[in-house]
Amino acid sequence: MAQQKRDAAEDAPLILQDFLPYRLSVVTEAVSGLFASRYQERFGLGIPEWRVVAVVGQHGSATTQEVIGHTGMDRVRVSRAVTRLADKGLLDRRAHPQDQRAQVLRLSRKGRTVYGEIVPLARALQASLASALSAAEHRQLRAILDKVAARTRQLAADGAED
C-alpha cells in the first residue's frame, strides 16, 4: 500500500509552482530585478558588480575568494565583475601580502561614494519588502531561509541529489 502511494506520487506531474527550488528562484529573480532596475540605470552596475561592491563595502576589503564565499557567485562571474569595477574606477586591486596569487580588493573613493548612495536604496527596498510581513513572519522567514541554506550546503557537501 505504501509502495503504491509512493509510485503514484512519483508518476504524478511536477507542479512547477509547488516546486521549492523553482519558487525560490522566481522570488530571487524578482527581487534582484527590482533592485537592479534601481541601480543599473543610475550607477551602471549589474547584479554581480553590486554584490562585489556590497561585500567589499561591508568588510572594508576582501579577496576574490572571500567575495565568492559571501555571494555564492562562481569564480568567473566574480572575476568579470571585479574587472568591470576596476575599469570603472570603483575598485582598487592590490597584491595580497601573504599570497601573491590573490588580490586584496578595496573600494576606491568613487566606489565608496557609490556604495554610500546604493546602501540607502537597498535598505529602502528591504524595508518595503519586509512591510508585507509581521515581525514574527519576518523572523520565521529568516529562520526558514537559514534552514534551507544549511540543508543545501549539506546536500552539496554530500554530493546528494535528493
Q: Is the model's pLDDT at 33 over the cut of 80?
A: yes
Residue type, 130: A
Q: For the chain, what are the domain ranges?
A: 15-131
Over residues 14-30, the mean pLDDT reads 93
Which pLDDT score is estimated for 100? 75
Q: Tally the residues of the chain.
A: 162
| pLDDT tens per residue across span 44-53 | 999 999 999 9
pLDDT at 160 exceeding the cut of 60: no
pLDDT for 116-150, tens place per residue? 999 999 999 999 999 999 999 999 999 999 999 99
Report d(CA 63, CA 29) in Å as an integer: 26
- Residues 65-77 have a mean pLDDT of 95
Axis-axis angle for helices 109-130, 20-43 (nearest 10): 140
Domain spanning 15-131: CATH 3.30.420.130: no
What pTM was estimated for this model as a whole?
A: 0.81
The reported pLDDT for the residue numbered 4 is 59
Say if residue 107 is exposed, middle or buried (CB neighbours under 10 Å; 0-12, 13-18, 19+). buried
CB 63 within 8 A of CB 105: yes
